[in-house]
Structure 1
Amino acid sequence: MMKPFITFCLSLLALVASAQNLDRVEPPNWWVGMKTTHLQLLIHGENISQTDVTLSYPGVELESVTKVENPNYLFVDLKLASNVEPGKFNIEFKKGKKLVATYSYELWEREANSANRTGFNSSDVICLITPDRFVNGDPGNDEVPGMKEGLDRSYKWGRHGGDIRGIINSLDYLQNLGYTAVWLNPVLENDMPESSYHGYATTDFYKVDARFGSNDEYRELNEELDKRGMKLIMDMIFNHCGSEHWWMHDMPMKDWINNYPEMKITNHRRTVHEDPHASKADISALVDGWFVSAMPDLNQRNPFVARYLIQNSIWWTEYVGLEGIRQDTWPYPDKNMMSEWTKEMLEEYPNFNIVGEEWSVNPAIVSYWQKGKYNQDGYKNHAPSMMDFPLQSAVASGLKNDETWDTGLIQVYEALSNDFLYPDPFHLTIFPDNHDMSRFYVQVGEDADLLKMGVAFFLTTRGIPQIYYGTEILMRHDGSEHGDIRADFPGGWEGDKVNAFTGEGLSDAAKDMQKYVANIQNWRKSANVIHDGKLLHFIPENGTYTYFRYTDNEAVMVILNKNAEEKAIATDRFKEVTNGYTSGKEIISGKEISDISKVTVPAKSAVIVELKR
């Protein structure tokens, strides 16, 4: 078993305190039995490059020591034998014969079946949570001495106090709603002077932000999820760090950060990757520009930066026991490094899953990045999943727009007809909304019926559904800024007048939505035909859209009805799927249908019918 991280850090600090020239070794530990045999350590300490490095441990070979332009850094490359044993060994730093610093490095034993963990997939429904805005489970970490930003719940851009302990305390609620996986917006340290709550400006890649909890609590969260058969997805950012990251005050080398120190903002023109006519200048402006002024752009073409990021993702996967990674701002880092990273991750964890954010409503752009895609420029990536922004946009518009020749439900149909562009559309991550856009309830005009139809669609069509926290209680917002969208979950703070966990103060409509989501999601857990079945859909007619998920032995029929009155849908048009089926059960209402030759769909609603022979 792995040593608790806090105990490890305390012993480490006691050891290093006597050696004043050494303050960081990253990764702080590693594991035996990894397929990755090479390990590169970043060493930081005053004039540490003036020392010679030695170590002695069976199965660990000191391959090389690289000195860079900043004398306060060394990069130490180790090779680990396949049969190396768990244990400790000293890395010694000497000037001549004088020992000036020692680091006791640990190789830990891996958890059983660590390499074979199953990543999130189409059998899952993912709950997306912004940790600062969900539940304040430990008010004791709201204010942390020495950190730059404290608690200000009255300020929509401020820290509100939600934390990992609050999420742990809420797992029964999430499980009862039918979720099988949890994706948290970033939880690593963001010691920035303002607006640090969102987590996307990392200041320490190996430490959970103390206002969210500890590394131990992060691992505890996954252990509790494992007990429930649920999975954890980590939000990572390779493109940039925070401007207050510790290395920004003592840069390893000039090209560690792009456009430093003059700082140029990216052009955000992500299509330059696919554009056969794009200029090198425009490509560089995208990839090398800073996302915003507070987020320095990491140079993944620097091999030491690339190795640092790749190892960091492996470290967190192994340390916490992750089942997936969501990678932020996918097209902004160096794309060749991203290809190498996904390749190495899947070599280490063959059943793992990675989903990337390419915010484009053009499926030709999104599909460029998915594993197995043939691209004319020869580029190959290895990400199994991508966020399906094109489908999200089509559903939001299709539900809201009037039914005409080319608007309304036909927009959903035609979005799915573009699936030929993807190597594996069934592995895309689909969603009604997320933390960066208006809530779906707001997008459809705060119409609870349209929201229900959208949720039913995303939970039954192809792909891996993700739902944002609060969708189940009709969370809304007046403003359109991120601080408005990422509002506090009612009941997550002591004294809240509305409590979504107990139902106190919730409107009847919100309670009804909770039941609606829980009903479909809990049914979906065992609906293998939804997990693995094919998709067949029929062109929308008269404000209705019918599609099927089916295998050789099972079929589910879904009908969306946007009309203001109920519709009796004759099913003879669908006989290529319904042939041989005579009856069914409607999942949302629980009603039995004795004759499926005609199915009645209530006004502005969806029906989900398990067909029976």
Structure 2
Amino acid sequence: MKRLLLAFMAVLFLGNITALAKDQIDHLEPAFWWVGMKNPKLQLMVHGENISNLKPELNYDGVSIEKVSRVANPNYLFVDLLIDERAKAGEFDIIFKKGKKTAVSYKYQLLQREEGSAERIGFTPKDVMYLITPDRFANGNPDNDNVDGMPEQADRNDKSGRHGGDIEGIINHLDYISDMGFTSIWVNPVLENNQENFSYHGYSTTDYYKVDERFGSNEEYRNLAKEAKKLGIGLIMDMIVNHCGSEHWWMKDLPSKDWINFGGEFVRTSHKRTTVQDKYASKEDLKQFADGWFVKTMPDLNQRNEFMATYLIQNTIWWVEYADLQGIRMDTYPYPDADFMTEWTRRVMEEYPNFNIVGEEWSTNPAIVSYWQKGKVNHDGYVSYLPSLMDFPLQYAMVQALTKEETWGTGWIKLYEGLANDFLYADPGNLVIFPDNHDMERIFDQLGRDYELFKLAMAYTLTMRGIPQIYYGTEILVKSDFGGDHGMLRSDFPGGWEGDQINAFTGEGLSDQEKDAQAYMKKILNWRKDNEIIHEGKLMHYAPDFGIYSYFRFTDSGKVMVILNKNKEAVQMETGRYHEMLNGETSGKDVLSGKTYELNGSIEVPAQTALILEIN
């Protein structure tokens, strides 16, 4: 069976190549495409020794060669195809001729799109994302832990090494994810990272069209999307267009000197993200930021090269179509060329108008983050088509509010004022909100491992405007033991490996507190899943008073009142100030405890507790 699968993949992704003598095609990307795409144009990147000496030809109804481009390196050809409305799904030969003789023939496939593909719905505020680092979640297939020809081997004792988690492990535990109440999975990058070491995280791509064999195969990734969809769970792909891995195949034979920034020589980025928006910034500072590399093993791609730009855009669309994605999370969004990012998002959203993409702009300043959202009118005229962003400012404000000593509301004021900055965003309801992620200390650690504060943070995150994202293990109080080491905060999910003494999937071996945290989140998540008021409701919040922060989510058909008490003692809260929202309503039932509270006088809010009241 395995041999049959490998044979099928060879045909599917490498095509059927025939060649004379030494003429051959080493890479042709994308290896196949679809009929019926909104944009009828497709550019093929063809790589092989002296391939530019050959002339491509084809004969297939509805498909024509518009242009053939040659670059500095004779080992590359860029072939522009036009696939018009007459084209049907099928196969045809692309013939590469030397004079009148055929030197190489490549059998190209055009596939039929899945019904409704163009109208797919992206993630929305109805969803809650479960963020997974696949190497650290569950090992479903120990046979792929080590692969011949890939230098880094699995070693669970190496905090910075590969541990063996894979796509099959995620598929095996989709029921757990669904039962918890999550409706989307954002999986950290799964594309090939054939680097010497530190390859588990997936952010050093060495093949943009191939899943890393230690995670599984392209077909398994597509199967993950299919199996998840059966449970009402969408797949969000983590993508990187800023940089590749130093062992990417093209690094050994670059198409041109400007394929990689700084001529392919390592120059570290300044990480000064504000230079993009800074009206006083020098061009040199902007170049140092946008063109600089993260590290030597992550060459910075030059998206100003027209062939590189087209390659990256087409690759994104290929994965959306192939894997039936619900969305994309774009890594390091401000680091690539800003004009390219406009075109990248425009092209993707043009092809899939109801899709969603969230960009990472790691800044706690909402003025910086809001710059990138679609609809924002910017001081410099920059136009973006990016629908969503990670709400780092609100995450920072939440932690500050919960950890600052409370003096009659002065702690909560950080969060209150942080939310008040929403006027800066074109669409604050489409932001992704989160307590932590794969690059920061676990929220339980950020809050000093105070369980009551943890519950307040979870209640806030899951009832606030936006689209919540929860990192795997947060629900069982996973600790980061950070100390600056990312390998430690991305620890293995207990129960994901055979022989684990603790199994969080079944609850075996969890402490009482860990079980309680899991149950607490499960209750809110499953309540939220079908709650249109939280999905679509407007928001009104009230200035913090006496250590209590409160807000309403509401629609024409209902209201939810959230009361967060950070005090270490119960507080009597007068309900009169909420008259404009309560509007004669006299009681509310707490989602968490089931207790009914009368709202026509004062209520006692228990110490360090969140009340989520459905107003009757």
State the TM-score bracket (shorter-chain normalisation).
Answer: over 0.9
2:600 and 2:75 map into 1 onto residues whose CA distance is: 74
Q: Percent identity?
A: 58
Match 1:600 to one of 568, 587, 604: 604
**CA spacing shift, 1:112–1:176, aligned 2, 3 Å:** same
Aligned residue number for residue 576 of structure 2: 572
TM-aligned CA deviation for residue 36 of structure 1? 1.1
Q: For residues 269-328 of structure 1, what are the alpha-carbon distances to aligned partners after superposition, in whole Å with 9 as ceiling and x for unaligned?
A: 000011000000000111111111110000000010000000000000000000100000
Are the counterparts in 2 of residues 453 and 605 from structure 1 also a CA contact under 8 Å? yes
Aligned residue number for residue 397 of structure 2: 394
Are the counterparts in 1 of residues 407 and 546 from structure 2 also a CA contact under 8 Å? no
Q: For residues 182-208 of structure 1, what are the alpha-carbon distances to aligned partners after superposition, in whole Å with 9 as ceiling and x for unaligned?
A: 000100000000000000000000000
Are the counterparts in 2 of residues 4 and 216 from structure 1 also a CA contact under 8 Å? no
2:255 and 2:407 map into 1 onto residues whose CA distance is: 59
TM-aligned CA deviation for residue 229 of structure 1? 1.2
Residue 67 (1) aligns with residue 65 (2): no
Residue 467 (1) aligns with residue 458 (2): no
Residue 100 (1) aligns with residue 88 (2): no
TM-score by length of 1: 0.98
TM-aligned CA deviation for residue 590 of structure 1? 1.9
Question: RMSD in angstroms over aligned alpha carbons?
Answer: 1.5
TM-aligned CA deviation for residue 593 of structure 1? 3.0
Aligned residue number for residue 15 of structure 1: 16
Residue 163 (1) aligns with residue 166 (2): yes
Are the counterparts in 1 of residues 205 and 245 from structure 2 also a CA contact under 8 Å? yes
1:14 and 1:395 map into 2 onto residues whose CA distance is: 52
TM-aligned CA deviation for residue 600 of structure 1? 2.8
TM-aligned CA deviation for residue 12 of structure 1? 6.2
Write the mapping of 1:188-207 to structure 2, written as runs, cut at 5 A: 188-207=191-210
Aligned residue number for residue 546 of structure 2: 542
217-226 vs 583-592, greater mean Cα deviation? 583-592
Match 1:590 to one of 584, 594, 602: 594
1:530 and 1:169 map into 2 onto residues whose CA distance is: 30
Aligned residue number for residue 304 of structure 1: 307
Match 2:254 to one of 251, 273, 280: 251
Aligned residue number for residue 421 of structure 1: 424
Aligned residue number for residue 353 of structure 2: 350
Aligned residue number for residue 38 of structure 1: 41
**SS of residue paired to 1:75:** strand
1:55 and 1:465 map into 2 onto residues whose CA distance is: 49
2:155 and 2:583 map into 1 onto residues whose CA distance is: 61
Aligned residue number for residue 458 of structure 1: 461
**CA spacing shift, 1:7–1:596, aligned 2, 3 Å:** farther
TM-aligned CA deviation for residue 406 of structure 1? 8.1
Aligned residue number for residue 177 of structure 1: 180
Write the mapping of 1:242-321 to structure 2, written as runs, cut at 5 A: 242-321=245-324
Are the counterparts in 2 of residues 584 and 596 from structure 1 also a CA contact under 8 Å? no
1:5 and 1:585 map into 2 onto residues whose CA distance is: 57
Residue 325 (1) aligns with residue 328 (2): yes
TM-aligned CA deviation for residue 397 of structure 1? 1.1
TM-aligned CA deviation for residue 133 of structure 1? 0.3
- The one-letter amino acid of 1:526's match is D
TM-score by length of 2: 0.97
TM-aligned CA deviation for residue 100 of structure 1? 1.1
Aligned residue number for residue 190 of structure 2: 187
**CA spacing shift, 1:193–1:586, aligned 2, 3 Å:** same
1:14 and 1:118 map into 2 onto residues whose CA distance is: 31
Residue 523 (1) aligns with residue 527 (2): yes
- The one-letter amino acid of 1:408's match is G
576-585 vs 205-214, greater mean Cα deviation? 576-585
1:538 and 1:479 map into 2 onto residues whose CA distance is: 35
TM-aligned CA deviation for residue 5 of structure 1? 9.2
1:76 and 1:185 map into 2 onto residues whose CA distance is: 32
Aligned residue number for residue 126 of structure 1: 129
**SS of residue paired to 1:255:** coil
**CA spacing shift, 1:138–1:4, aligned 2, 3 Å:** closer
Q: For residues 340-397 of structure 1, what are the alpha-carbon distances to aligned partners after superposition, in whole Å with 9 as ceiling and x for unaligned?
A: 1111111110100000000000000000000000001000101110000000000011
Residue 448 (1) aligns with residue 458 (2): no
- The one-letter amino acid of 1:563's match is N
Residue 609 (1) aligns with residue 610 (2): no
Aligned residue number for residue 497 of structure 2: 493
- The one-letter amino acid of 2:16's match is L
1:327 and 1:591 map into 2 onto residues whose CA distance is: 42
TM-aligned CA deviation for residue 552 of structure 1? 1.9
Match 1:86 to one of 63, 71, 89: 89
**CA spacing shift, 1:405–1:599, aligned 2, 3 Å:** closer
TM-aligned CA deviation for residue 9 of structure 1? 2.5
1:260 and 1:487 map into 2 onto residues whose CA distance is: 37
TM-aligned CA deviation for residue 596 of structure 1? 5.4
Q: For residues 483-511 of structure 1, what are the alpha-carbon distances to aligned partners after superposition, in whole Å with 9 as ceiling and x for unaligned?
A: 01100000000111111011111000000
- The one-letter amino acid of 1:16's match is I
- The one-letter amino acid of 1:173's match is Y
Are the counterparts in 2 of residues 206 and 312 from structure 1 also a CA contact under 8 Å? yes
Q: For residues 57-107 of structure 1, what are the alpha-carbon distances to aligned partners after superposition, in whole Å with 9 as ceiling and x for unaligned?
A: 111110011011111100000011023110101000010112111111101
579-588 vs 305-314, greater mean Cα deviation? 579-588
Q: For residues 25-72 of structure 1, what are the alpha-carbon distances to aligned partners after superposition, in whole Å with 9 as ceiling and x for unaligned?
A: 101110111001110000011110010110011111100110111111
TM-aligned CA deviation for residue 256 of structure 1? 0.3
Are the counterparts in 2 of residues 164 and 213 from structure 1 also a CA contact under 8 Å? yes
**SS of residue paired to 2:540:** strand
TM-aligned CA deviation for residue 595 of structure 1? 4.6
Are the counterparts in 2 of residues 324 and 352 from structure 1 also a CA contact under 8 Å? yes
Are the counterparts in 2 of residues 239 and 332 from structure 1 also a CA contact under 8 Å? yes
TM-aligned CA deviation for residue 551 of structure 1? 1.3
Are the counterparts in 2 of residues 5 and 216 from structure 1 also a CA contact under 8 Å? no
65-74 vs 575-584, greater mean Cα deviation? 575-584
Aligned residue number for residue 537 of structure 2: 533
TM-aligned CA deviation for residue 18 of structure 1? 4.6
Aligned residue number for residue 560 of structure 2: 556
**SS of residue paired to 2:508:** coil
**SS of residue paired to 2:418:** helix
1:12 and 1:512 map into 2 onto residues whose CA distance is: 47
- The one-letter amino acid of 1:521's match is L
Q: Which runs of 5+ in 2 are unaligned?
A: none
TM-aligned CA deviation for residue 156 of structure 1? 0.4
- The one-letter amino acid of 2:544's match is P
TM-aligned CA deviation for residue 591 of structure 1? 2.0
**SS of residue paired to 2:504:** coil
Are the counterparts in 1 of residues 57 and 94 from structure 2 also a CA contact under 8 Å? yes
